[in-house]
A = this chain, B = another copy of it.
Amino acid sequence: MSILVVGSVALDSVKTPFGKVDSVLGGSGTYFSTAASFFTDVRLVAVVGEDFPAEHLDFLRSRNIDLSGVVAAPGKTFRWEGEYGYDLNEAHTLDTQLNVFGSFQPDIPDNYRDAKVVFLANIDPELQLQVLEQVAHPELVACDTMNFWISGKRDALLKTLKRVDTLLINEAEARQLAEEANLVKAAQKIISWGPKRLVVKRGEYGSLLFSEHSTFAAPAYPLESVFDPTGAGDTFAGGFLGFLAATGNLSERSIRQAIIFGSVMASFTVENFSLERLRQLEYIEIEERFRRFKLLTEFAGLDN
């Protein structure tokens, strides 16, 4: 199955203790699409400005990503400037220029409307709803959100969540959304509002998958060099949904494997700035790292 993703395509300027880059390719839609493209066909809906370098579109096309939903609008591309300290878990936003993204109204092309798997990246929950209204019969809808929408558009977000199967957010966002400090209780509360499952992203500490009857904990891959965490969450989502769309299997077994594929993709992304590591990545490396996750986490039970 192919995936429809609606998100941002951006030009990022990022500083970490290990270096800095200016106006490089970024954006939730970009990271997600690229990660998912290792597993399945991806259809991207986004907006770019007149200043957006053609080479970036060429790169996305080279990953076989369908760009017929990417609109070039008059004005400048969305720009984000951020900085990370040695605690790479937290980004400090220095500047955000929404530019053409500020008036983004996602219009789903006809040839996308039969999408079975949909990812709504971190955009205004009202737009997320608009997207869902344009998709005929999705079988799996996942979405991301952030503190800004949780506090500013709570009602719209709760409406969106009623139509979402899987919510992927970070730990602080889960607590904020549920208004509950304990993560297990927060997850139960969020699941009672609609989503079948909640993926809590914890950066270098991995992730937790909560569903009604089961909890799964996955570590992050311990890396010797983490250069830039930007895009880790979106590539996680790309690996997760990419694998599920490729197999079409939504069993607990498959969903747990998908969490690991998400973790694998995130672990590659942070090894270099922007999408540099993903540009070099071969599928065989993805499977190799999946196997390393297995070695990293397995232990003998009491009965074997």
Beyond A291-B302, A299-B259, whether A206 also contacts B219 by CB under 8 A is yes
Beyond A205-B202, A205-B205, A291-B302, whether A217 also contacts B297 by CB under 8 A is yes
User: Interface digits, A176-202 against B, CB 8 Å rule (1 contact, 0 not)?
Assistant: 000001111100000000000000001
Least CB separation from A222: chain B residue: B184
A147 at the interface (CB under 8 A from B): no
Q: How far is the CA of A222 from the CA of B287 in the complex (A)?
A: 28
A290 at the interface (CB under 8 A from B): yes
For A301, list chain B residues within 8 Å (CB).
290-291, 294
Least CB separation from A300: chain B residue: B253
A-B contact pairs, 22 of them (CB 8 A): A86-B181, A182-B226, A183-B222, A184-B222, A184-B223, A202-B205, A205-B206, A206-B219, A214-B295, A216-B297, A216-B299, A217-B219, A217-B296, A217-B297, A257-B299, A259-B299, A287-B302, A290-B301, A291-B302, A294-B299, A297-B297, A298-B298
Which residues of A are at the interface with B, using a C-beta cutoff of 8 A?
17, 86, 181-185, 202, 205-206, 208, 214-219, 222-226, 253, 256-257, 259-260, 287, 290-291, 294-302
Number of copies of this chain in the oligomer? Answer: 2
For A287, list chain B residues within 8 Å (CB).
302
Contact A184 B294, beta carbon cutoff 8 Å:
no
For A298, list chain B residues within 8 Å (CB).
256, 298
